[in-house]
Chains A and B, each alone.
Chain A
Amino acid sequence: MNPVLQVNNLQVSYYTDAGRARALDGVDLTLNAGEKLGLVGESGSGKSTMALAMMRMIKPPGRIEGGQVIVDGTDLITISDADMLKARLSKIAYIPQGAMNSLNPVIRIGAQMMDAIKAHQDQSTSDWISSAEMEKRCKQALEAVDLRSNVFKMYAHELSGGMKQRVCIAISILLRPKVIIADEPTSALDVVTQRQVMETIDRVQDQIGAAVILIGHDMGLMAQFVDKVAVMYAGRLMELSNVRDMFTDPKHPYAQALIRSLPNLENKGVFNGIPGMAPALLQLPGGCAFHPRCLHAMEICTIQRPQPTPLPGGRIVECYLYSEKV
């Protein structure tokens, strides 16, 4: 099966007054159509930078310094700006965090959706569709996310938070992209609305056969929603496993500590935090970025960064505990 998204050795740095911060330090990912990947990490892990890099929306002082992001055969890093504009929304779409702020408050919802389609119209080719047809598509998208089609005529302030987020989902599926990136889509929403929104994303993804990357720090949400989980730390991908394995048998020490620290119904009153702090991206420790906090740190961990090691079941871990070198 041909992967619909392939990220190879992606590198992004931010150049600040205090030096160069390596936000993404060589990340590899593969995603097939219809798959749901959860990208988990704490602040500073690089997960939001991943989303922006894949959409090529990194602004100075940030810079994409290397790597490939291949969606449906095209490397988004190398194409021209004009082509990238076309690719956004039609090949790869983005559902932002805080939808409250990404909808234009003075334009009706319908007009914003039509704008999105119009921007991708090419009047010279036969792909051009009429206004009536565009409107029909928009209303279909609204129905797909469980909103009444009269939302088309409303303004953003007339909708609740959950509804606004679902409008953003509708916009993201208008052009049937191959990959949808949802960046903490439910962080500002309450639990019930969160469930509604996630179920909506699930449903529309099934309908159009897209792959979804869910970015967040809520492991609980990952457990309920995704097929595979990728754990990031300090700009590096520490472990990639399918969701069941990640929660029942995590391999990387960081992933293990993370799973252990999660509150659930059985471990009431037991708190297992991870001591120490994530490293500043301006000064990463040598070798493996996690070694200062790792229970199993060995000497080689302080010297050389481990290579991604494949494990059975399609899993990948970046840790010397599992590599043959040890």
Chain B
Amino acid sequence: MSDLLEFRNVTKTYSRGLLSRVSTTALSDISLKLETEQPTILTVAGESGSGKTTLAMLLLGFITPTSGEILYKGKDIQTLRGEERMLFRREVQAVFQDPFAVFNPFYTVDHLLSVPLDRFKLATSKSEARAIMMEALTAVGLRPGDVLGRFPHQLSGGQRQRINVARALLLRPKLLVADEPVSMVDASLRANILETLRGLQRNHGVSIIYITHDLTTAYHIAKSIIVLYRGSVMEAGEVDAVIKTPQHPYTRLLVDSIPWPDINRRWGETEIKAKEMELSDHALGCKFSSRCPFVMDKCKEIPPLFRLTQHQAASCYLFEQNPSIAPEKLSDLLPV
């Protein structure tokens, strides 16, 4: 049984300039496996520039890798045609960050839901389509009468995002890429949306890749986590372990800087070492070395992933006494 989606040594670089090509590495040698049997929620965490959006775009097939392959059920995404491609499209869906941008301002919000029903032939008649839409809207906590037939600018951000999730619900994809689904939504509504997403995984067998920079929500919803920094994996493993006991210096800095809404848990003592780095940083070796308080000489070579426990690994020479694992084995770390 081949995996649902597989990244094999995927690297994505962008180059600019005509004469002297300047290239930026968005993602560097990432390997990942997502299987169909057990749906899970995996968080890909990172700041802007970490490569998490590039990962999302690659997963959805919107951009192609510079090297490496992305396989869907064993076949390279780029080679899919016709029915297979439609199936891929249907089974891999997304919920994006901006609740407004996903709507075509010319149409009512119904359009967002009716188009996929029509294209994927999920309903045999208009009334059946409408029934499916109403069911999905109710499932996310909206009253269909309140939103159907309205234009996107007539609804609130929270309502719009819930409609987005409803769309994901009615498509019953196998894999859902959620790119910062709640960051532009009010705090009181986030809980609702996250709960719906988790419901998708628990009750409908959808695997979710939750991409975010907000570790608090990641902690709540995900089972496993990959921390990216400038295109490379810094730490990965079970989300409880990584957030409660972060090992990699970068993860420790991140977790320490989370503003927990808890009066007793103050911002940590981890010193933010770097005064800003230059915007085009071509550090060789470990990408974090220029900001790391523990940097050593050997960091000039990219550290491999060192396995710390069964479900936690960090890519840092501080842990070199632990066994290292090949990048291809990344998925083994991640519990389901």
Establish whether A and B are touching in the complex (CB under 8 Å).
yes
- Of B189, B217, B272, the residue contacting A196 (CB under 8 A) is B272
State whether the Cβ of B266 lies closer than 8 Å to any Cβ in chain A.
yes
- Of A195, A259, A277, the residue contacting B159 (CB under 8 A) is A277
A160 to chain B, nearest CB (A): 5
State whether the Cβ of A1 lies closer than 8 Å to any Cβ in chain B.
no
On whether the beta carbons of A259 and B261 are closer than 8 Å, the reply is yes
A160 to B280 Cα, complex, angstroms: 10
Residues of A within 8 A of B219 (CB): 263, 265, 268
On whether the beta carbons of B186 and A43 are closer than 8 Å, the reply is yes
On whether the beta carbons of A43 and B156 are closer than 8 Å, the reply is yes
On whether the beta carbons of A192 and B157 are closer than 8 Å, the reply is no
Which residues of chain B from 164 to 220 have a CB within 8 Å of any chain A CB?
186-192, 194-195, 198, 213-217, 219-220
On whether the beta carbons of A191 and B279 are closer than 8 Å, the reply is no
State whether the Cβ of A42 lies closer than 8 Å to any Cβ in chain B.
yes
**On chain B, which size bracket covers the interface?**
35 or more
State whether the Cβ of A248 lies closer than 8 Å to any Cβ in chain B.
yes
Q: Smallest CB-CB separation from A219: which chain B residue?
A: B261
Task: Encode contact with A along B247-258: 1 for CB under 8 Å, 0 otherwise.
Answer: 000000110011
A44 to B186 Cα, complex, angstroms: 10
On whether the beta carbons of B220 and A268 are closer than 8 Å, the reply is yes
Given A218-B259, A221-B259: A262 and B194 interface contact (C-beta under 8 Å): no
Q: A161, A192, A278: which has the most chain B beta carbons within 10 Å?
A: A192
Q: Smallest CB-CB separation from B159: which chain A residue?
A: A277
Residues of B within 8 A of A42 (CB): 186-188
State whether the Cβ of A74 lies closer than 8 Å to any Cβ in chain B.
no
A146 to B271 Cα, complex, angstroms: 14
On whether the beta carbons of B157 and A258 are closer than 8 Å, the reply is no
State whether the Cβ of B21 lies closer than 8 Å to any Cβ in chain A.
no
- Of A158, A199, A263, A275, the residue contacting B220 (CB under 8 A) is A263
Show 12 A/B contacts (Cβ-Cβ < 8 Å), sorted by A: A158-B279, A159-B276, A192-B257, A195-B259, A220-B259, A224-B259, A224-B266, A258-B187, A263-B219, A264-B261, A268-B220, A277-B156
Q: A residues within 8 Å of B by Cβ?
A: 42-44, 146, 148, 158-163, 190-196, 199, 217-225, 243-244, 247-248, 257-259, 261-265, 268-269, 271-275, 277-278
Contacts A162-B276, A191-B47, A265-B265 known; 6 new A-B pairs at CB < 8 A: A42-B186, A161-B48, A191-B257, A191-B258, A220-B259, A264-B262
